A and B are shown apart, each in its own frame.
Chain A
Amino acid sequence: MQRHVIAIAGVELELFEFGEGRPIVFLHGASGFVPEHPFVAPLSARHRLIAPSHPGFGASSLPDWIDAVADIAHIHLELLDRLGLDQVDVIGCSIGGWIAAELASMAPKTVRRLVLVGPVGVKTGPVDRLDIPDIFALPQSTLERLLFHDPERMRTDPSRLTDEQLGIAARNRETLALLSWEPYMHNPKLPHRLHRVTAPTLFLRGESDGLVSAEYLAAYSRLLPNARTDTIAEAGHAPHLEQPEAFAAMVLAFLDAGAVS
């Protein structure tokens, strides 16, 4: 594992890299990325796995000018240029899926294959109902039930975290609010840009995901010309954490199916 910090447009961007092979960019969700994540080993066994911390998450800085998901997509596009990568596979989870969708709509040729895991970013339902439940206005216990298939197993005990880890968690949540508060969890323009994303795309969700519904995922996938959906059993909004082996197997099967090798 290598950890770098790269300066891009006022952001001190934290970047993790693992393994060798055809590159996969992993764009984390709201809880951030740590090298200890259980899906890292299978995804990097035969691939170069590149995982930046988004601005305002992990140890990446957050300059004043950044306040939108599209801003972060621009940062990550520049990151790919700095790494000399013309085309990559991209996996994005939750708000990372939103970033991935923005990035792919901006630079479709950069993305060879795309996996969106419980992604947010578009509004597909009626005006008088939130597509995504309001995570900022729910009791913690309710939120945990929406997030996880097995909340008892997945819940984080704050007393087992260091002050630094707790600080990162609190800051991640703050940045999430900055990016997703209004319009809530979506960019109204994005549905009208996704027609450009011609890369084969897999929309995944945990079958117990209480935030991203099956209907939402299906409607989202129909905005892209070359997408399909699939489900991971016994997982909620973070199947990569709750069922890492099944997640990695499904993702690699999809990515490698299209490989020229």
Chain B
Amino acid sequence: MKAWHFSENAYPYLPPADEYESIRVSLPNRIYDPEKGAALYDRFLDEWLIAEDEGMEIMLNEHHQTATCVDPAAPLVLAALARLTKKARLLILGNPISNRRQPVRVAEEMAMVDILSRGRLEAGFVRGVPYEVLPANSNPVRMNERQWEALDLIVKAWTNHDGPFSHEGRFFHYRAVNIWPRPYQQPHPPIWISTTSPSGAARVGAHGYVQATFLTGFDGTRAVFDAYRRGWREAGRGSDVPVDRLAYAALVYAAPNEADARAGAEKLLWYITSNKVPPHFANPPGYVPVQANVAMLRGAEHPLSAFRRAATVEGAIDAGIMFAGTPDQVHQQMKKLYDHVGGFGHLLIMGQAGFLEHDETVVGIRTFAREVYPRAREEFPDTAISGVA
């Protein structure tokens, strides 16, 4: 198993939540203090470097117009990390290619980072959460179709080396695609896709890309991974699905003693408790299927908001979206989820949130890396086959 330190680069210095409508989309940026923001960037970069020193890999992501993740241009931070780090794999998860108008530009950015890092890029692609469509002015209808056309075009741009090719598709049009540089890794960097729905996962499995799912807990994760394995097998990729094709993102905090672990875990819940977003931003038309909207009009919970039930440490651990405690407790919690979902090869660690201070974050990184990770690598080997009890 590989463990990835993931930080959303949040800006936590906000007024009381009842003084604003939404932490995303409409929160005025006068609240953002550039001096504090600069210090936060320094700090979060330092924490990624510490994670690398401890033998972990690095993950970052991208959101827009939000205090929860002040990284609206993740390839920029990725480029900085490519020069600051020496050995860690660098996972961007991901490029929101349903919302970016120029897929070839994305292919160029990723190729550059792959060169700068001498082949350490793991290139992830996401559809983007619903609150991203307004910042991007991106039509929420037919996003999946746009994502797949963009991805296929990016792969072709990476792997075509014989001069310009044309692309006249449904959503994107180019007469002469011929990117410089081409990627360092051959034929191209590993591709990751995130999805929280089984229907999306089957398609990812058919392509054999790495499937990541975020905070989907016991049954949600199993449904996604089952769909991935089904898609993989139906595409004729063989009956054995390697465990390294599957990734799970959880809130993770390990500390040497229970009291410190508990305190850190409480602070990590910020991502759940602070995510104040009204329905008109959380559910743009077309983002979820018609039948899901009918269910919501009948009072069902928004699929993406289910995890908000888990707003306590116990609730989050019970739901399988948080692993927190002493090294032994964290291992047991991980193992329980690992066994329930049929295994996964990558743990994406949301290891910093809100007011979890630098020293506390480092305790979490080091305790995990030194006391949990060695055992996880031994018990959950990269060579395992997923879905086997």
Contact = CB atoms under 8 A, between A and B. Distances in A.
Interface of A: 64, 67, 136-140, 158, 163, 166-167, 169-171, 173-178, 181-182
A118 B142 CA distance: 28
Contacts, number: 58
B294 A174 contact: no
Interface residues of B, number: 21
- A-B interface, 9 closest residue pairs, ranked by CB to CB distance from nearest: A170-B293, A177-B285, A178-B141, A174-B286, A181-B139, A173-B285, A158-B297, A166-B294, A174-B285
B137 interface: yes
B238 interface: no
Nearest to A180: B139
Contact of A138 (B140, B141, B280, B290): B280
Contact of A167 (B25, B279, B290): B290
B285 A136 contact: yes
Contact of B134 (A64, A137, A167): A137
B36 interface: no
Instruction: Report whether over half of chain A's contact residues are helix, strand or loop; otherwise say mixed.
Output: helix
Given A139-B279, A166-B294, A177-B139, 16 more contacts: A64-B170, A136-B285, A137-B25, A137-B280, A138-B280, A139-B278, A139-B280, A166-B293, A170-B285, A170-B293, A173-B285, A173-B293, A174-B290, A175-B141, A178-B142, A181-B140
14 contacts: A136-B134, A166-B298, A167-B290, A167-B294, A170-B285, A170-B290, A170-B293, A171-B290, A173-B293, A177-B141, A177-B284, A181-B139, A181-B140, A181-B141
Contacts of B140: 177, 181
Interface string B133-147: 010010111100000
A24 B278 CA distance: 42
Interface of B: 25, 134, 137, 139-142, 170, 278-281, 284-286, 290-291, 293-294, 297-298
Contacts of A177: 139-141, 284-286
Contacts of B294: 163, 166-167, 170
A138 B284 CA distance: 11
A136 B290 CA distance: 16
A173 B141 CA distance: 10
A175 B280 CA distance: 17
Contacts of A163: 294, 298
A166 B299 CA distance: 12
Nearest to A179: B141
Which of B140, B285, B290 lies at the interface centre, i.e. has the most chain A CB atoms within 10 A of its CB? B285
A139 B142 CA distance: 24
